[in-house]
Amino acid sequence: MRALVYQNNELRFTRDHSVPTKPKYNEALIRVTHAGICGTDLEITKGYMGFQGVPGHEFVGIVESCGEERFVGKRVVGEINVGCGVCPSCLNRRRNHCPNRSVLGILNKDGAFAEQLTLSNKNLHLVPDLVTDEEAVFVEPLAAAFEITQQIPLRPTDKVCVMGDGRLGLLVSQVLALTGCNLVAAGRYEEKLAIVKERGIDTTCNPDFPQNEFDVVVDCSGSAAGFDLARKWVKPRGTIVLKTTVAEREAVDLNSLVIDEVTVVGSRCGPFAPALRALAMKSVDVRPLIEKTFPLEEGVEAFHYASQKGALKVLLRI
């Protein structure tokens, strides 16, 4: 089948990648229709996780075969962490943290930049008719944005800052705005912040906030310097949410966190169902985030395009 493959430090397009082996018990075979390139995919082509194989974890597709009849022939998106099913994490519904997990297109499992993939039935979610393929590709990163509201209480009177106007920052701003909190989105590019400004969210390109201004600061900056700024802006007893993973993290002044009793929350993958509901109800708009769509054949070029500074979401049409 056609696929993008990352191997021996090289990403290439091939027409003869072997089709996924007959799905295991409790697995579905899915024909991918669209997939999205995200920061993690770009990192993978720099050696992140030592991954070899087909990358890609943000996708929508049609189920070709599956033990569960209700999925067959239907449009689905899929959660990306596949747990072992028997460890304490898996048995306590925390398969995202299974120590033996594989992760679609990231860890020990071929991903979505190919004609077909296999995924556990447990990971599948039907896509409502009101949600287009292009929108459905955003369910995975949008779920990661919803994870924040799953982890910390956000009161409507809270003052909240989302740092970063990249793909994730713009999704997080929209999701946190749904709580009614007093929100400002801080970034670098006026034209990108305009996407959330049009939805009534306060934005700033010159974040010159006084010290201790916010109850909650969410770092989607994608840079190591983000944490220091978050630390400066958060109030005593406030919360810093870290959405950014950076290769090089500088030393952090932990004493100031102790003195000001600041809570730091790491935040990764999130719940798919609310993300699908938000798209169906149009309470979040992901369409302005689509920068360009490439056919799978031009996947290598699409990666180059996506890695340009300031690029928004690049999609692959499979």
Binding site for Zn ion (CB under 5 A): 38, 40, 83-84, 87, 90, 98
Token pair 């990306």 is at which residue? 80
The DSSP secondary structure of 80-117, one letter per residue, reads SEE--SSSHHHHTT-GGG-TT-EETTTBSS--SSBSEE
Beta strands in the chain (DSSP E): 3-7, 10-14, 27-37, 58-65, 75-78, 81-82, 102-103, 116-120, 124-126, 159-163, 182-186, 202-204, 214-219, 234-242, 263-266, 290-295, 313-317
Find out whether 53 and 104 touch, Cβ atoms under 8 Å. no
CB atoms within 10 A of CB 188: 15
Q: In degrees to the nearest 10, what's the CA dihedral of 104, 109, 114, 116? A: -90
Residue placing its CB nearer to Zn ion in the complex, 116 or 120: 120
Residue placing its CB nearer to Zn ion in the complex, 90 or 131: 90
Q: How far is the CB of 275 from Zn ion (least distance, A)?
A: 13
CB proximity list for 211: less than 8 A, separation 6 or greater: 232, 233
Q: How far is residue 291's CA from residue 263's CA, in Å, rounded to a whole number?
A: 35
Residue placing its CB nearer to Zn ion in the complex, 51 or 214: 51
Q: How far is the CB of 105 from Zn ion (least distance, A)?
A: 9
Residue placing its CB nearer to Zn ion in the complex, 238 or 274: 274
Q: How far is the CB of 167 from Zn ion (least distance, A)?
A: 9
Q: How far is the CB of 69 from Zn ion (least distance, A)?
A: 26
Q: How far is the CB of 55 from Zn ion (least distance, A)?
A: 10
Residue placing its CB nearer to Zn ion in the complex, 87 or 246: 87
Residue placing its CB nearer to Zn ion in the complex, 65 or 223: 223
Q: How far is the CB of 15 from Zn ion (least distance, A)?
A: 26
